[in-house]
A = this chain, B = another copy of it.
Amino acid sequence: MATKNKLFLGLFIHSKALNELEYLHDTAVGVDKEGKITIVERDCDEKKARETVLPRLGWKDAEVEVVKAKEGQFFFPGFIDTHIHAPQYPNAGIFGNSTLLDWLDTYTFPLEASLSDLAKARRVYTRVIHKTLSHGTTCAAYYATIDVPATNLLADLCYARGQRALIGRVCMNEPYTSPTNYRDESAEASLAATRASIAHIRTLDPTHTLIQPIITPRFAPSCTFPLLVQLGALAAETALPIQTHISENRAEIALVKTLFPRAVTGAADDSYAGVYDAAGLLTGRTVLAHAVHLTAGEAALVARRGAKVSHCPGSNTALGSGAARVRRLLDRGIVCGLGTDVSGGFSPSVLEAARAAVMVSRHVVFMGEAAPAGGVGEDREREKLSVEEALFLATRGGAEVVGLEERVGRFAVGMEWDAQLVGLGVVGEDGDAVGDEDGGDVDVFGWETWPDRVAKWVYNGDDRNTKMVWVKGRLVHARK
């Protein structure tokens, strides 16, 4: 996709470990025409790069595109949104005081159903791809709708715009919970439609350079058990990833217990995770959104199967679902990333999701105070996520959740260049902003350390701070 070799110069920041950011000052990163990082050279300015790095790479000086971060700017890995419903984007912010199950019926299903109108789908999907790219989302795990042509259109648009994506046609055939005008006619029809969408994406991007299909049972209550089982078999057959929801809301959990008794599933217990496990859907390639109310037993099962969790803090608060205890999941070794969960979540920004993750982790502490016997343990402060941890979840964590940890999420030789150039607002001596660019709400006075600047970005940053975005070496967004 990238047409030229590229040389990026300046400050690079990325996650070195869960709670540690690495600051690579005065560094040069070479990215080849395929979008792969070929060199990361520290203590290297443009002169040195041209004199020593380019010759080593065998790149001719005139054929290399040089992108320099200005003073105060930095390169950061692109964000990975591990859970987002593209068709729900027009409802961002529209949910009233509803909770999950009535929210689905009132707001969500009617909008999703309406996107079988391909003109409408094109309008909405074009907007959501532009919007998420502008916020630095270089990779998204999308839920589409049940409609195959509209799902395929979403894949086409992502591919054309250059956003890395997992595209899931939504499977839902349970008449009790799905509206008559918006459900698969049968398990077989659901499976056939899913295969059709997978086939389309394999034609579009045979080697999954950018786009890959993901098997997407909406959530257990939307599917009959035979459908879940067939989707589990399809995942085993195709080695494709799986995404679904789990344990978001207490009423939903009760519904699962009602709909999936052990007599039906043959599971060892009637837990929510147990239902997925019995259907063969709990795998090392499974993305489980929410996981707010997992029992200790379920968390152990999820960890054993190597399934990943998409933490959606904004959505969980907005829909009154609860506060997921991310620290406990991390402590068990469960890989976690962040999801905006538009439109259960109102913001399309993963940076906002990172902010929300920090805030929700503090509310988990308060819940522990409210219920000291609730098992949060004595060291309640440990529940808090730091800025560094939230950014890890937004990048490296997310990459591992969607199975791309060998390709994106950090800057290293062999990784692909999915990145954003971040610029913060600067306050002049007179108290006015320096320069013409809108730095948004991030105001740097000049005396701040780099960790403090990053914190300012996380807490007050928005798309105005995301100046340029690349996926696989290709420039896919530049702020006007």
A residues sitting closer than 8 Å to B (CB atoms) are 89-90, 92-97, 122-127, 130-131, 317-318, 320, 322-323, 346-349, 359-360, 362-363, 365-371, 374, 381, 384, 386-387, 427, 429-432, 438, 440-443, 445, 448, 452, 455-460, 462-463
Contacts and interface: CB of A to CB of B under 8 A. Distances in A.
Number of copies: 2
B460 A427 contact: no
A109 B459 CA distance: 21
Contacts of A93: 442, 452, 455-460
A104 to B, nearest CB: 17
Contacts of A365: 320
Closest 3 CB pairs of A and B: A126-B431, A93-B459, A370-B371
Contact of A456 (B94, B97, B369, B456): B94
A370 B381 contact: no
A97 B314 CA distance: 20
Contact of A346 (B90, B360, B370, B460): B460
Contacts of A462: 440-441, 462
A136 to B, nearest CB: 13
Contacts of A366: 320, 322-323, 363, 367
A317 to B, nearest CB: 5
B362 A320 contact: yes
Contacts of A97: 381, 384, 386
A320 B384 contact: yes
B367 A452 contact: no
Contacts of A367: 363, 366-367, 370
A345 B405 CA distance: 35
In the complex, which of the residues A96, A374, A441, A463 has the most CB atoms of chain B within 10 Å of its own CB atom?
A: A441
B362 A318 contact: yes
A7 B24 CA distance: 56
Contacts of A456: 92-94
Given A362-B320, A363-B363, A441-B349, A92 B459 contact: yes
9 contacts: A89-B443, A90-B445, A92-B456, A94-B452, A123-B429, A124-B431, A126-B431, A130-B431, A349-B441
A455 B90 CA distance: 12
A355 to B, nearest CB: 8
Contacts of A317: 359, 362-363
A476 to B, nearest CB: 15
A318 B390 CA distance: 14
A423 to B, nearest CB: 16
A222 to B, nearest CB: 24
A347 B384 contact: no
A451 B463 CA distance: 26
Contacts of A387: 96
A363 B323 contact: yes
B123 A427 contact: yes
B459 A347 contact: yes
A386 B362 CA distance: 22
Nearest to A93: B459
B460 A359 contact: no
A37 to B, nearest CB: 30
A97 B367 CA distance: 17
A441 B89 CA distance: 11
